[in-house]
Amino acid sequence: MKSASTGEGASPFLGITMGDPAGIGPEVIAKALAGATVRRLCRPLGHRLVSGYAAGGQEPETQDERDSSGGSRRRCLHGRIISPCWTRSIIPLGGSRVESRRLKLGRRPCCSSRKPWSLRSLSCIDGIVTAPINKEAINMAGCHFPGHTELLADLTKTQESGMMIVGGPLRIMFVTTHVAIKELPSLLTQAKIEKAIRLAHLALRDLFGIKKPRVGVAALNPHAGEHGLFGDEEARVILPAARAAQAQGIRASDPLPADTLFGKAARGDYDGVVALYHDQGLIPLKLVAFGTCVNLTVGLPIIRTSVDHGTAFDIVGKGIADPGSLVEAITLAATLAEGVGEGLSGLFGLSWFVWLTEIPTRQTRYRTQTNEIN
């Protein structure tokens, strides 16, 4: 694969945003960059604040130059990349809740996310990996986006995008994310479900290299509603959405009971699953791939992955934040940037098995690392 920045055979440049500087983002980035895995897969570019803790990245230089028409443009000047090294110094900031004194910091995560996109538009980097932000902090600071996904969609003028979480043998697309359970029936529309099915199909086909992906569609109610006995959402909106997708040539299932669908997907009967709400998809994902799930934004004109956890203010400065999810996010972004979609099934198949055997240990380590999917 020809890197956007360096030419044939070179490992991709990945822009790694530190997220909320008062959270665990800088720590997990520093730890991830200390490992040989990340250095082997890509050349990371990061904020100088993180570099101060890990010497883990370098912002590429740019210069103005005149084109043939007399106009001005910017060109990347790629110099050397600082070799990552680990330092035990962790940012001594934190707190279990957002306070007014953190409002100024709240603006920085949004700005740091905008910088990699500007670099990507210059063809300087091949993908973006984001550390966690705090949704309350950025909104209190005047950056009114629910998270990175919506911010990047706005920056790239993307009309249709969504969140897919990849973990172990599962790839799950979500119809809704951070909403109250009591509001679900009114939020589930045929159009939204069709969109999720369509995005799942596109991701599995174009990013993961599956020519004719099989998409399992989850039902909302027990036993898929049992012909209306336990709810009518299946017949009223989910089935029509699935049938509309089928009419477009997408291999989508009719709505299936969630208590069996995810097990079938884990066995390989489906290449991806459309979940209707946050916990419906995240519970099985974190059962089989706790701490190593990756958020993949689908529909953007760029590759963007993210960690599956939050800012974890309660453990900042303790040196115990686990970089596992970030390493997986970098691995996925680098693999997608290299265009090796066909190899992802095997890569994650091995990964989920290894991590499944370590769930008890990792659960202890992750017990306070809050899960705020971005």
> What residues form DSSP beta bridges with 163?
297
pLDDT of residue 360: 34
pLDDT at 230 over 80: yes
Query: So where are the chain's domains?
Result: 1-159+300-374, 169-291
User: Thinking of the domain 1-159+300-374, which architecture would CATH place it in?
Assistant: 3-Layer(aba) Sandwich (3.40)
Q: Quick one: pLDDT band at residue 112, thresholds 50, 70, 90? A: low
- What is the distance, to the nearest Å, from the Cα of residue 334 to the centroid of all Cα atoms in its chain? 13
| CA atoms of 346 and 368, how far apart (whole Å) | 31
pLDDT at 241 over 90: yes
Note the pLDDT tens digit of each residue in 60-69. 444 444 444 4
Note the pLDDT tens digit of each residue in 280-294. 999 999 999 988 899
Q: Residue 254: which of 266, 264, 236, 242 has the closest Cα?
A: 242
Q: For the chain, what is the radius of gyration of the CA atoms?
A: 21
pLDDT at 365 over 60: no
Give the global pTM. 0.71
Q: Quick one: pLDDT band at residue 51, thresholds 50, 70, 90? A: low
Single-letter residue type at 349: G
Residue with the larger pLDDT of the pair 169 and 48 = 169
pLDDT of residue 220: 95
pLDDT at 314 over 50: yes
What fold, for 169-291? Isopropylmalate Dehydrogenase (3.40.718)
pLDDT of residue 48: 56
Residue with the larger pLDDT of the pair 237 and 339 = 237
Q: Quick one: pLDDT band at residue 117, thresholds 50, 70, 90? A: low
Q: Quick one: pLDDT band at residue 7, thresholds 50, 70, 90? A: low
pLDDT of residue 15: 85
Q: Residue 31: which of 307, 321, 373 has the closest Cα?
A: 321
| CA atoms of 359 and 357, how far apart (whole Å) | 6
Quick one: which H or E segment has residue 250?
A: none
pLDDT at 214 over 50: yes
Quick one: which H or E segment has residue 369?
A: none
Mean pLDDT throughout 73-98? 31
Share of the chain above pLDDT 90, in %: 37
| CA atoms of 214 and 208, how far apart (whole Å) | 12
Residue 130 main-chain phi, psi, to 5 deg:
-115, 135
Q: What angle do CA 345, 346, 349 make, to 5 degrees?
A: 85
Residue with the larger pLDDT of the pair 178 and 74 = 178
pLDDT of residue 75: 41
Q: Residue 255: which of 228, 237, 229 has the closest Cα?
A: 237
pLDDT at 350 over 80: no
In order, the DSSP letters of 183-210 are: GHHHH--HHHHHHHHHHHHHIIIIIS--
Note the pLDDT tens digit of each residue in 324-343. 999 999 999 999 988 744 43
Q: Quick one: pLDDT band at residue 118, thresholds 50, 70, 90? A: low
pLDDT of residue 56: 37
Show the DSSP H helices in the chain as ranges: 25-34, 36-41, 48-54, 103-121, 135-140, 148-155, 184-187, 190-202, 233, 239-247, 258-267, 278-289, 324-337, 344-357, 359-365
And the tokens for 26?
């800088």
pLDDT of residue 202: 93
Q: Quick one: pLDDT band at residue 16, thresholds 50, 70, 90? A: confident
DSSP-derived secondary structure letter, 68: T
Q: Rounded mean pLDDT of the chain?
A: 75
And the tokens for 66?
């005149």
Q: Are 217 and 164 in contact (CB under 8 A)?
A: no
Tell me whether domains 1-159+300-374 and 169-291 share a fold: yes
Share of the chain above pLDDT 70, in %: 67
Mean pLDDT throughout 99-113? 44
pLDDT at 50 over 60: no
And the tokens for 200?
């799942």
Note the pLDDT tens digit of each residue in 154-209. 888 888 888 899 999 999 999 998 889 999 999 999 999 999 999 999 999 988 99
Helices (H) and strands (E) in the chain, counts: 15, 14
